[in-house]
Structure 1
Amino acid sequence: MELPLVVGVDGSEPSLRAVDWAADEAALHGVPLRLVYASLWERYEGAALAQGLGRSSEQVLADNIVDAAAKRAQRRAPDLKISTAVLPDDAVSVLLAEGRNAAALVIGSRGRGGIAELLLGSVSLAVAARAHCPVIVLRGSHDDRRINRTYQRIVLGVGEEPGNAAAVRFAFEEAAARYATLQAVRAWRRPTHKATDHPLLAGEPARHHEQQAAEILEAALLDGAADHPSVQLRRRTEEGPAHRALLDASSTADLLVVGAQRRHGDYGLQLGRVAHAVLHHSACPVAVVPQRV
């Protein structure tokens, strides 16, 4: 059974842009598209009451929203297989449940104007932190011109093992499908102390740490490069905070991919500071790819 790409819709402009992006992505990978809408009215009022009263305005609205989204996606990708669902629960619970049988989840950012537009909505953050599948958040979507521009470049943030493998696979697959260049970034920090007794650090501590970062980067990319020899790969080590390096790279990327480790079971947050930073401030869509530990 082919897992669908699932996108959450609610009728807002960000969610409609997410539908567009998800339709393109599903067509690119040859997978079905599933559009879901969370309807709390049915959850709290109950199906029996709903039948007794006839279709409520909330039900009509929900059906109209998913129907309009489906027509929009079909116009964008006429051959795409599309399914829709209105589900009786809150948005986070619906998307997390759908993510258990999805290739990935796609969510629009929900900021509204000014500074708020740069920040991530609570639904997007909660789903990215807890989903069992990759979650793509449409950062950069507050600028319509930006979301329609392509650079043919995927950026991958390489963190510490064992949180790399799933994100690396995902990034290579995206780059291969898009015929895009994959730029892998590994940040490193200069040691704060000026002296050390370690023979490898004496004299050139910065050089040692930069070399170590390059070795970690090379090891993380080894299997992915072997599996996808056609992907043009660029490696980059940069001194400084990882989130700063990735945010800088996001300004000329089509997608930024980061890994996240699940440390506290199904309900604990799995996002570190780097993932939080790029989800809030990236100039392009962000894919958060969970790695079980």
Structure 2
Amino acid sequence: MAIPLVVGVDGSEASLEAVDWAAVEAVRHDVPLHLVYAVVPDHGAADLIAVAMERARKSAPSLRLSSEVLHEDPASALLGQGRNAFALVLGYRGRGDLAGLLLGSVSLAVSARADCPVVVVRGEAEYRNGRFGSVVVGVEDGEGSGTAVQFALREAHVRRCRLVAVHAWSVPPGALSPPPPSGYALEAHCRPPAQVLDDALRGRAERYRSVTVSRQVVEGPARQALLAAATGADLLVVGARRRRGHLGLQLGLVNHAVLHHAPCPIAVVPQM
């Protein structure tokens, strides 16, 4: 049996927009959609789930659909569901979060700790409805982006759209003056930025020959480069490293910035 795409619901408009997005996504990938409402205590769970399921059926009538109410805190419940999920889909802000927050506490906690990809559905309707025909993936030097690139290629393939791979770089401080840098700074300086993209795409892109891939090398901060590219994207994909000796992921400043400010849905893909 196919593992499901799981979407968290709480009755907020943001979570219902996540249901809309997830329903279409599940059909694209031919996987079931599982709606999860986690609450302590139980207040109107049956009515809330019914509304969410009706919304999902309206977005994708052919969808294989199930639902579940879990009596535990939402972050823990969703993290448990993520151990056997195609991906987790969340709204950018939940019903209980303060209106001034750019990203809900549950969405941030799950993005930072889940074992599977997490999609936070952000942006206006034009970004959620596939208007732009583009998936953007951020590529960093090293091995941290491999799973994210694979995820992004698969998304571009099922959407029949183009993939834009973005790598931002800057000259390490002191790289052009003596004494010469050592360790990672020297390696980054000696490694041409275009090669970083080529290495990340090599082999993986060959599996998705139908996908048109373009490369963007940007000198400057990665968060600015990714947010700029996302203004013309239906989905932004970033990778997250696993922290050695700790539970969860290393989101880093760049991922925090795009999670809070991206104009479109954003997928955080754990390094495998």
Aligned pair 1:74/2:76, yes or no?
Answer: no
**Cα offset, 1:147, TM superposition:** 3.1
Question: 1:160-206, CA deviations, whole angstroms, 9 ceiling, x for partnerless residues?
Answer: 322111101100000000011100000110243342476xxxxxxxx
Gaps of 5+ in 1: 43-57, 199-207
Structure-2 separation of matches of 1:145 and 1:165: 29
Gaps of 5+ in 2: 181-187
Change (3 A) 1:283 1:117: farther
Which has the larger share of helix? Answer: 1
The answer (yes or no) to whether the contact 2:114–2:248 under 8 Å persists in 1 is no
Q: Quick one: which of 117, 122, 138 aligns to 2:121?
A: 138
Q: Quick one: which of 238, 242, 247 aligns to 2:227?
A: 247
Q: Quick one: which of 106, 124, 127 aligns to 2:110?
A: 127
Number of aligned residues: 262
State the match for 1:103 in structure 2.
86
Structure-1 separation of matches of 2:88 and 2:156: 18
Q: Quick one: which of 137, 145, 149 aligns to 1:164?
A: 145
State the match for 1:65 in structure 2.
48
Within-5 A mapping of 1:178-257: 178-193=159-174, 194-196=176-178, 209=189, 212-257=192-237
Structure-1 separation of matches of 2:35 and 2:56: 10
| CA RMSD of superposed structures (Å) | 2.1
SS in 2 for 1:223: coil
Change (3 A) 1:279 1:181: same
The answer (yes or no) to whether the contact 1:153–1:181 under 8 Å persists in 2 is yes
Structure-1 separation of matches of 2:190 and 2:230: 22
Runs of 4+ aligned structure 1 residues displaced above 6 Å come to none
The answer (yes or no) to whether the contact 1:130–1:266 under 8 Å persists in 2 is no
* Amino acid of the structure 1 residue aligned with 2:116: C
Change (3 A) 1:176 1:269: closer
Tell which structure's C-alpha radius of gyration is larger.
1
Structure-2 separation of matches of 1:210 and 1:174: 32
State the match for 2:185 in structure 1.
none
Give me the TM-score of the superposition, normalised by structure 2. 0.90
State the match for 1:51 in structure 2.
none
**Cα offset, 1:150, TM superposition:** 1.3
SS in 1 for 2:88: strand
Change (3 A) 1:227 1:269: closer
Give me the TM-score of the superposition, normalised by structure 1. 0.84
